[in-house]
Amino acid sequence: MRFSVKYTSPAGEVLLRELEGTSADEIRRRLTTEGHFPLEVKASSSTFSRNRSIKAEPLIMFNQELLALLKAGIPLLQSLELLMSHGKDPNLRSAIGRVVALVQEGMSFSEALDQAGGFPAVYKANVVAGERSGTLPEVITRWLAFQKFAQSSRRRITEALFYPAFLVVVLTLALLVMFNYVLPKFSQVFESGGQELPRLTQILMSFGNFMSATIYYQAGIFLVLAVVVRWLTKTEGGVRIFEKILLGIPRLGTLYRMYHSSVFTRTTSVLLSGGLPILQAMEVIQRTSSSHRMKVKLITVIEMVRAGSSLHQSLEQSKMLDPLAVEMTRVGEQSSSLPEMMNHVADFFDQEVEKSTVAVTSLIGPVLILFMGVTILCLLLAVYVPMFNMSNVMR
């Protein structure tokens, strides 16, 4: 959600800008932390039209081109002007056009990104860190490496899940066709023959007639399931319940927690390597995390860090991450190599998640094929055995 903010800077200037956040109170706390004094915070009237998030792929391509121009010695504003009309994504082109106009008016690159809207918070935080440290090309390089790795991991997991999902869809459609159309047709044939049917055939034919008679109810059930799935994945309350269900499943809950531990540690490593302070890095992750559980627990972690606690103590008390991540955080803080330690533990978690996903999906495939084979065999026996008996009687 975007807010229009009026505030005073430490120099006494009254400034206006737009910020993204979850609530007005969060915006006020963020401005106060940065040393500003908020005067007015209200929801932006242009929230819907200007808050279209930019997709990862075109943003990665844009930053690859921007990095090449910056390394060639071309100034930032001129580089942005050269790239303003590039790319196929209309949201990105429009956002870059607004960024160029704001930079020409005197804003910094990070402020222009924030004002334009649509850019991921992690990317904006990296740009802020790069501007403060004077190492924007290096920061963009690290962000690109992080995004490429994330895209690659997501693609591998998706490919591993595709085959089992395809088998489930095919099996579901095949059973629906069999029970709603094929079995009722055979039931009519068997009834006209007047022959006593085997018990398995009677059960399947009765179930087929029931399915055929309730086809509209089935459509209603599927519609309700679609609405429920959308609610579980798109709304805040649904995501919270869905996450609790996932965490309650023994093996899957561990895998889910490990995945978000990996995302947290790798994002923290990227932000800290770019020069962002720990507190601001935690605030960025809190706003961008896809896990509702992590969002809630990170609020406590942020307050503890702000009160003077170390990061590993705050994470340990919150019980938000895998114990290995907390231990590596402690080692990283003590050895002054927190970004490197975070990156190492993220690599470990990614390998574990990938191995577990591949192992589970490799097992699901044969189990589904075996189930399909047994199901089809039962259907064939139930249908064709009475037909063979009928042909013998006719002879």
Give pLDDT tens digits for 316-367.
898 888 888 889 899 998 888 888 898 888 888 888 887 887 777 777 778 8
Higher-confidence position of 144 and 1 = 144
Query: Is residue 279's pLDDT more than 80?
Result: yes
Q: Which tops the pLDDT comparison, 203 or 70?
A: 70
pLDDT digits (tens, 9 = 90+) for 227-241: 988 888 777 778 888
Average pLDDT, the chain: 80
What's the CA gap between 72 and 127, in Å, rounded? 19
Percent of the chain at pLDDT above 70? 90
Q: Round to whole Å and give the CA distance between 24 and 30.
A: 10
Residues 264, 321 contacting (CB under 8 angstroms): yes
Specify the residue for token string 């649509």: 118
Those residues with Cβ within 8 angstroms of residue 58's Cβ, 6 or more apart along the chain or in another chain: 87, 88, 89, 92
Q: How far apart are CA 117 and CA 51, in angstroms?
A: 6
> Which pLDDT score is estimated for 390?
62
Dig out the tokens for 343 from the structure. Answer: 């990156």
Closest CA to 373 of 165, 207, 162, 167: 167
The set of residues, in sequence order, having a beta carbon less than 8 Å from that of 357 and lying 6+ positions away, is: 157, 160, 161, 255
Helices (H), the chain: 24-33, 47-50, 56-71, 76-83, 90-104, 109-116, 121-133, 136-177, 183-193, 199-213, 215-234, 236-248, 250-273, 278-288, 292-306, 311-318, 323-334, 338-394
Q: In what order do the strands lie in the sheet with 37-43?
A: 14-20, 2-8, 37-43
Total residues belonging to the chain: 395
How far is 280 from 289, CA to CA, in rounded Å? 14
Over residues 143-163, mean pLDDT: 78
Helix (H, G, I), strand (E, B) or coil at 330: helix
**pLDDT-based confidence at residue 195 (cuts at 50, 70, 90):** low
- Residue for token digits 């962000």? 143
Task: Evaluate whether 315 touches 307 at the Cβ level (below 8 Å).
Answer: no
Give the span between the Cα atoms of 95 and 75, in whole angstroms: 19
Residue 232 has which token pair?
């579980």
246 C-beta neighbours (distance < 10 Å), count? 15
User: Which pLDDT does position 389 carry in this prediction?
Assistant: 66
pLDDT for the residue 2: 67
pLDDT band at 224 (very low <50, low <70, confident <90, very high): very high
Predicted pLDDT of residue 152: 78
Cα–Cα distance between 316 and 301 in angstroms, integer? 9
Lowest-confidence range among 134-138, 172-176, 199-203, 290-294?
199-203
